[in-house]
Structure 1
């Protein structure tokens, strides 16, 4: 069953995921408690399968807290690979998880994605203000708050530009 779940994650096949869950409703719970060598969420995030990620998190939101063998969360992978849609999905309603993630790997919050954006830029860009507030509480580093993306935009620039649109 583990192999089928892994294959579904690799291909991003949400139909197969549904079939697997119908056959074994607690398979994702076993992932959460560490019975699997690798998390299907990490695999799907790495390969950019946003719909599969969404389906996994809908069924078992705790998967967002699972760390891989290198102590990285799925959010760390999403940020490192510039997968902003997936990062948004991983942080929706999970502000409390961010504190845990940043404590495990504080440098992950400084990773730049896409156009040189930090996770703070992504929070403003995707209107994730609760997440932004929590990150600012945790990070408390002024130069990070004033960081510019490749377009020279700080968080304030993005916030003001968003209000004009």
Structure 2
């Protein structure tokens, strides 16, 4: 998940993104002194011409303390999605495997575990896709039901593990959901492909 900053934004907003990239809290505080509404205005600008919020950027860079400071100043930032894939900051943290940031993001808003990107993937799905086992386990502990959804194509989290060749995530998932494991394995996507179908297709592709 790449960082994208839109050209043509205001000078103040550009400086805010610079602070987020660096994780520079003193710089952030100086900006807030100059313009106390900069974070609120960033939310408004984000809806029109900015691909990712400063929180998305700070999360991607792994700047925990900066993330915490942003959330303290403007709690609404963690519910914003980007204009790239509809990803929330929690999706980004899950893809990167930033455990402490994940904890900070879900600490006050655990329902963000159910946030879906434009493909219908929740953060725990994204953690599985990127092979972030520790992040996957953390999100599962926070809310195991988030692993039971489906993408827009009807794929379960097991489908995604197979498609993206994340076998360790697949094994760990089956250990965690042993009660529903058989049901997940036998579930088909929108094309009626089960996990076993996809595994066979993958093997055939390797042979070719």
TM-score, normalization by structure 1: 0.72
Q: How does 1:1-165 map to 2 (within 5 A)?
A: 1-35=12-46, 37=50, 38-70=52-84, 71-99=86-114, 101-102=115-116, 105-108=119-122, 109-111=124-126, 112=128, 116-117=132-133, 120-123=136-139, 131-132=142-143, 135=146, 139=149, 149=168, 153=172, 154-155=175-176
Which whole-Å deviations, capped at 9, do the CAs of 1:44-96 have from their partners, x for residues lacking one?
11111111111101111110011112111111111111112111111111023
Q: Which has the larger radius of gyration?
A: 2
**CA distance in 1 between partners of 2:87 and 2:117 (Å):** 11
Q: Which runs of 5+ in 1 are unaligned?
A: 158-165
Q: CA deviation at 1:98?
A: 3.2
Which whole-Å deviations, capped at 9, do the CAs of 1:4-27 have from their partners, x for residues lacking one?
111111110011111111221111
Q: CA deviation at 1:121?
A: 1.0
Question: How many residue pairs are counted as aligned between the two chains?
Answer: 148
Higher relative contact order structure (alpha carbons within 8 Å, sequence separation ≥ 6): 1
Q: Which runs of 5+ in 2 are unaligned?
A: 1-11, 151-155, 160-166, 179-208
Is 1:95–1:134's contact at 8 Å kept on the other side of the alignment? no
